[in-house]
């Protein structure tokens, strides 16, 4: 059931009270923090791949912030 409340649209109200993993949304925050603090200079700075073979071929290479977001390369956003 979909219910419109003011500016918010909710679906399955019972689910809003259950904690959920942030999943890939944490990459947005980590990217902004890295840029703001100068850990990464810009979206084209290369993040070196550690050689560990992750799940997808697109992850098995150096990434930039832009390609890390594009391919959802989880390893590039870990500390």
Q: List residues bridging with 11 in a β-sheet.
A: 2
* Known catalytic membership, residue 21: no
Catalytic residue among 6, 14, 21, 24: 24
Q: Measure the CA–CA gap between 3 and 56, rounded to whole angstroms.
A: 38
Q: Measure the CA–CA gap between 10 and 76, rounded to whole angstroms.
A: 33
Annotated catalytic residues are 24
């Amino acid at each position: 059931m979909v219910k419109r409340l003011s500016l918010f649209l909710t679906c399955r109200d019972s689910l809003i009270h259950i904690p959920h993993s942030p999943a890939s949304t944490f990459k947005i925050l980590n990217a902004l923090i890295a840029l703001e603090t100068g850990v990464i200079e810009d979206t084209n700075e290369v993040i070196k791949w550690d050689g560990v073979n992750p799940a997808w071929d697109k992850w098995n290479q150096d990434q930039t912030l832009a390609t890390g977001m594009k391919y959802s390369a989880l390893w590039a956003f870990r500390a």
